[in-house]
Structure 1
Amino acid sequence: MARPRKKNNAARISISLPVALFDELDEMVVERGYASRSEAISKMISEQLVNHQHQLGKEIMAGTITLTYDHSKPGLQSRLMKIQHKYLKEIISSQHVHLENHHSLEVLLVQGPGVRLKAIASELIVCKGVKHGCLNVSSNILPPIY
């Protein structure tokens, strides 16, 4: 539940992170030259909120869906392929690379209404065996293909 906003320009939150993630955050703060963890986290949240707002709209957008998955999981590749075939209008192309330890990296170039791209990404990401997935969008679109 959201708390009432304070009258000053900042609100405080408290989060718990695994130690390894915390250490990586501190490294990134130093490498990117942020003044503090708060500045780095604020920037990441801002970027995600902009991305989220774009995804909810009906505006035509271009982007990528990136998936990392365990290709040895029975039926997973077939399921991912069926989903991709369902969205032929939006999925422009795909690149598949085999990684170590039975994993694959797949990048899909997509274009369509932001809300539809979000739905496609969500449908792919929730498949059992997908380890990581994300949608990145841009308000710039591809020129007409035909």
Structure 2
Amino acid sequence: MQRVTVTLDEELMAEVDTLMRERGYQNRSEAIRDLTRSGLKQVKEEAAPDSPCMGALVYVYDHAARELSKRLTRHSHDHHELTLSTLHVHINHDSCLEVALLKGQGRALKQFAAEVTSSRSVRHGQLVLIPDE
């Protein structure tokens, strides 16, 4: 490992220290390494949308909404080459949570996620992409 000296203003350092305590990092170096990795991952995703990625699409929807479950299932089948696995959880009487594990080109995964999360009666949704290195 290499040692790097970085100057941070007090406000930013206080935020790093808060993050360090909240997440249980042993020291600032660990926290800053994770933040750096996260930032670099984000830059790679933005710079190379067609690079191979792994993804997790998490969304919550109203299972009673007319035909929504069928439409979401049909959508997944239409893009079966992207979906590795799906976890379905009943949150309560009206809501379901699904986690779809995906693999493919970044642009294709983003498009798939946008189509799912913009569906009527899908309440929340988020895609996490990780470069497939």
Q: TM-score, normalised by structure 1?
A: 0.61
For 1:137, give the aligned amino acid: L
CA distance in 1, matches of 2:43, 2:86: 23
Tell me what 1:135 maps to.
127
Q: For the residues of structure 2 that align with 1:78 and 1:109, how far apart are their CA atoms? A: 19
Q: SS in structure 1 opposite 2:85?
A: strand
Give the root-mean-square deviation of aligned CA atoms. 2.7
- The answer to whether the Cα contact below 8 Å between 1:61 and 1:139 also exists between their aligned partners in 2 is yes
Distance 2:99 2:66 in 1: 21
Q: 1:87 maps to which residue?
A: 79
* 8 Å contact kept, 1:51–1:136: no
| Aligned mates of 1:95, 1:50 — CA distance in 2 | 25
User: 1:52-107 CA deviation, whole Å, 9 max, x = no partner?
Assistant: 75166110101111111110111110110111011011111101010114100100
What residue number does 1:60 align with?
A: 52
Q: Is the 8 A contact 2:84 2:102 kept in 1?
A: yes
Q: CA deviation at 1:51?
A: 3.7
Q: Is 2:41–2:131's contact at 8 Å kept on the other side of the alignment?
A: no
Provide structure 2 residue ranges, at least 5 long, that are not aligned to the other structure. 1-17, 25-34
Q: Once superposed, which parts of structure 1, at least 4 consecutive aligned residues long, lie more than 6 Å away? A: none
Q: How many residues align?
A: 105
CA distance change for structure 1 residues 49 and 66 in 2, over 3 Å: closer, same or farther? farther
